[in-house]
A and B are shown apart, each in its own frame.
Chain A
Amino acid sequence: DGGITQSPKYLFRKEGQNVTLSCEQNLNHDAMYWYRQDPGQGLRLIYYSQIVNDFQKGDIAEGYSVSREKKESFPLTVTSAQKNPTAFYLCGSGYSGNTIYFGEGSWLTVV
């Protein structure tokens, strides 16, 4: 079935650790996105990629890194530089025109 798969669903990070969230899509979409969601804040754009081997910073890119080596994959690394990483992370994809279809999300908690 076509869709967007995020893993893991739940992740716990210790202080000072880097963690990577996986996002894979088989919808043949060119564009992929990472959003962060905090209670009462809506969704905020971290990074986006319109084509393979190219990506752009969104509104809150500090403390995060991404790669886009394959069209299907857009992993997000939350680095130790991100001081408040506890949040719900959403990966999305779409064609041009900005309609975004989201995966099921990943919950990241700092312990």
Chain B
Amino acid sequence: QQPVQSPQAVILREGEDAVINCSSSKALYSVHWYRQKHGEAPVFLMILLKGGEQKGHEKISASFNEKKQQSSLYLTASQLSYSGTYFCGKDGGGGADGLTFGKGTHLIIQP
């Protein structure tokens, strides 16, 4: 079952912060975050494993709440290069059987 992402779209000014949420009705084994620019391939950002850990990538970090079956991506002091569509992909724990992706969150950063 497809994870649900919110919001669907965000428009920010450069330097502002954003939070993108990803939730699942079924158990999450891990959550993977990707960013995609228009017409390009999705680029892997980070993986969150069970345990509620938080990870960071430049000024982008994420958390994973196993109990709530949700993950959040935090973008602080956003830069123009952060524009794109962000996808979360959930791993149901079946080994290398692929990820189920959400529909994406469109992030637009304005100067």
Contacts and interface: CB of A to CB of B under 8 A. Distances in A.
A90 B42 contact: yes
Given A98-B32, A98-B91, A43 B96 contact: no
A31 B91 CA distance: 14
A50 interface: yes
B61 to A, nearest CB: 18
Nearest to A95: B96
B64 interface: no
Given A42-B87, A101-B44, A104-B41, A50 B101 contact: no
Contacts of A33: 98
Contacts of B98: 33, 45, 48, 58, 98, 100
A105 interface: yes
B38 to A, nearest CB: 10
Interface of A: 30-31, 33, 35, 40-45, 48, 50, 56, 58-59, 90, 94-105
22 contacts: A31-B96, A41-B103, A42-B2, A43-B42, A43-B101, A44-B101, A45-B98, A50-B97, A58-B98, A59-B100, A94-B96, A95-B96, A96-B96, A97-B91, A98-B30, A98-B89, A98-B98, A99-B32, A100-B89, A101-B44, A102-B42, A104-B40
Interface of B: 2, 30, 32, 39-44, 47, 87, 89, 91, 95-104
